[in-house]
Structure 1
Amino acid sequence: MNDAATLQACVQYAKELRADIPQEAFQRNPWRLLWLPVHLAIIGGATTLMLATEIHWGWRLALSAVIGHSYGVLMFLAHEILHGSVVKNARLQNWISGLCMLPYCIGPAHWKAWHNRAHHGHTSQSGADPDSFGNVTMFICNRVARFMLTFAPGSGYRRSWLFLGFWFSFHAITTLFLHSQRYDYWNAARRRRQIALFFAMVAFWAGVAVTVGMRHFLFLYVLPIIVANMLQMSYIATNHLFCDETEDVNDPLANSLSVSVPKWLGWLHLNFGYHIEHHIYPYMNPRHAPRVRAALEARYGRRYRSLPILTALRVLYETPPVHLSQKELVDLDTGAVFSTLGVECELPRQIDRVTVPVRPRRTAAALRLLKLEGSSPAIETSAVIGAPPAPATDPADGAARKRAA
């Protein structure tokens, strides 16, 4: 069981597995930098071909997809670099990763604060983990959050099919302007510098648009960044969203999932699907992730969880994204309650139905989060303790709204 008595932190797994993994697996791998000129050449060649010739729009679409794939892989490379698994020099890390992340308008310091510290440090903790949709409490009094939730996979709304194509870029903006302020990523001066860097990158792409014209810009940037978002989110969204919430102990065997792809695709995508492995050893280059997987399977057996990526994506869209409790997910419109991914990778399934509007199951945790979010005591009492709730909504009404959305 993944309960409080059996959960253990990433560092404990790292200590237990260390003897099972060759020492060379913990060395930096600067050879990964060879991917940089490869993908810059692909982007440059495709760009030149579209600007210098009048090729058919069908070929332009294909080249846009190729550029977008390269944007995506460069983000994977930046991810490795900023975890320190490629080169040691911090200035070199920042310059190379900054170039790789330019299509997303993400600066190195922004990524390290958002991903390395907030996500890795607080994985699947409601509110504190920027990559989690959180629990019911986060949506009780926040209409904007409720609206954005309709774009989430598993929400049941048609617009949720847009999620993969835009969410990574959108989420980068929300972490910079909202989450970074609420959770104090930086002091005021550093935050202003990060925002200034963001607008400088936006200005760069605006300059590109003016220079090449909107027709070319559509194929050189707009469509490629959609493809790049789809590539990022196909991995990222399946790594945690239907796993357990872990408020107290950051256990990667409870809150994370690895996804498998064909071996050639894993090579192209820099082994990005080995996500449990990455949370245990974020500073290890993913080239060695298969060794960590073998050690995990040998030591922990079926507690190591992995799904084929297409299966994980199907489950993602069949399962609501909001936690009702540690091991439950809930549809806020219908009240349908699903289990999270099982301890031995049993797929989520509907197990209950609660009254709409949905209220948290766990009073103490919900009160702590509401206090952190800055809600008033009156709202806290009404929302969590159970003082007169809003009139209940017929679950059928929620389902009808989804079909119409």
Structure 2
Amino acid sequence: MSDLHNFGWYAAQLKKHLPKEVFKPAPFRLFGGLAYLLVVVGCFLVIGLFDLHPLVNLLLSIPIGLSFAALGFLGHEILHGTVIRKGWIRNLLGAIAFWPLSTSPQIWRKWHNATHHVHTQQDEHDPDSWPTLERISKTKLFRWIYKLPFFVRAFTSFASLTVQFTAHSIKMFLVYIKSFNLKKQPTVFVQAVLPWITWISLLFVMGFEKWFFAFLLPLLIANFVVMAYISTNHRLNPLVPVNDPLANSLTVTVPKWVDVLHFNFSYHTEHHIFPSMSSKHYPLVKKHIKNLWPDRYHEMPMGQALKALWKTPRVYFEHNDLVDPLKGKAFGSLGNGLDTRDIKSKKIKLPTISKQD
């Protein structure tokens, strides 16, 4: 990995080819967020005020859940400062966008902006990276999980996408709340708890059945949509000693209309090079990356990436390999022998979990 470069190096090379306008904030993105808010409020009112057939409520849950997810994508962009630069407005709008996912804007900025982006795919420093065999072998729960048959693990992993963002967000709150000074901790606490108070209060107003269709099921849908992207962002890439976006990140491709609805969230390598640039400009950045470093850039259709995630384990061995501890099988990572169109494993000798019990 001697040819790795950090994201600042790539940014410096790419800036020579980009107009200055692309680095300006894009406040018009907020109109998309307003549209999603209107969809959510409208569907809430229909479900809450009318006694509809459960099938109709089920159909209404889908646009609510998709709107929750899209608001999360917009919140991500807002809190990177690409929509509005003024701090308090940025945090307020970010809190509103992340309200359905119940994520504190200041926790998000600490966890995502200041830690994940700085230490992407760096073992033990990136809060979003998956563990190494050495790390999980020290944890009883993970030792038990990785003794389960691979199919069971793969199915459970995909099913858990419906709750992973919410669960990880709660975990990050518990991890990072202590990093704020004592004067700021109450504000951060309120930011994290107030959305949950809102949604639990809605339960008592609507009753469980309507609340299930208005919030709980949409939350599961939103989690799955958001995590379908997040799980492909880095989980097929190697762990790296240098925060190199071309090595540690993957851009997935989706239909153009999906990119419009999801604020270009699919352009993830581009985002890690220019996190403070509005994602509306990422197609241009992608064009120049592919011109400058065509052999190092990773992209594939979303469906292909998800299929590869299903077929490969999520435990790292020696940074470049993904291993199944139960069978002693290793799969390469992107840039290190993994062909997502023809996934093959190799048998290797490693310290299996069972031997360490």
Question: TM-score, normalization: structure 1?
Answer: 0.82
CA contact (8 A) 2:332 2:338 kept: no
Q: Partners in 2 of 1:306 and 1:185 — Cα distance?
A: 36
- Distance in 1 between residues matched to 2:30 and 2:316, nearest whole Å: 39
Q: Which residue of 2 aligns with 1:264?
A: 257
Q: Secondary structure at the residue paired with 2:199?
A: helix
Match of 1:129 in 2: 126
Q: CA separation of 1:263/1:154 partners in 2, compared to 1, >3 Å: closer, same or farther?
A: farther
Q: Is the 8 A contact 1:150 1:159 kept in 2?
A: no
Q: Which residue of 2 aligns with 1:329?
A: 322
Contact 1:154 1:321 in 2 (8 A): no
Residue 66 (structure 2) aligns with: 69
Q: Which residue of structure 1 lines up, in the alignment, with residue 334 of structure 2?
A: 341
Q: Which residue of 2 aligns with 1:223?
A: 217
Q: Distance in 2 between matches of 1:212 and 1:281?
A: 43
CA contact (8 A) 1:39 1:70 kept: yes
Q: CA deviation at 1:160?
A: 2.1
Corresponding residue for residue 357 of structure 1: 352
The Cα shift of 1:215 comes to 0.8
Identity level (%): 31
- Please state if 1:176 is matched with 2:192: no
* 1:88 match: 85
Which of 390, 395, 398 is residue 356 of structure 2 equivalent to? Answer: 390
1:94-134, Cα deviation, whole Å (9 max, x unpaired): 11110111122111100001110111011011221111112
Distance 1:154 1:80 in 2: 35
How far has the Cα of 1:55 moved from its partner? 2.4
> What is the identity, as a one-letter code, of the residue corresponding to 2:129?
S
CA distance in 2, matches of 1:189, 1:206: 27
1:403 counterpart residue number = none
Q: Partner of 2:275: helix, strand, or coil?
A: coil
Q: CA deviation at 1:199?
A: 2.6
> More relative contact order in 1 or in 2 (CA 8 Å, sep 6+)?
2
2:193 aligns with 199
Amino acid at match of 1:219: F
Deviation of the 1:154 alpha carbon: 7.8
- 1:255 aligned residue: 248
Tell me which amino acid in the other structure corresponds to 1:56: H
Mapped to 1, the partners of 2:259 and 2:31 lie a distance apart of 17
SS in 2 for 1:121: coil
Task: State the TM-score, normalized to the length of structure 2.
Answer: 0.93
| Cα pair 2:143 2:353 within 8 Å, conserved | no
Q: How do 1:27-42 residues align onto structure 2 when only pairs under 5 Å count? A: 27-42=24-39
Distance in 2 (alpha carbons) for counterparts of 1:344 and 1:306: 15
SS state of the match for residue 259, structure 1? strand
CA distance in 2, matches of 1:276, 1:168: 20
Q: Which amino acid aligns with 1:112?
A: R
Distance (whole Å) between structure 2 residues aligned to residue 155 and residue 278 of structure 1: 33
Secondary structure class of the residue paired with 1:156: helix
Of 13, 16, 24, which aligns to 1:16? 13
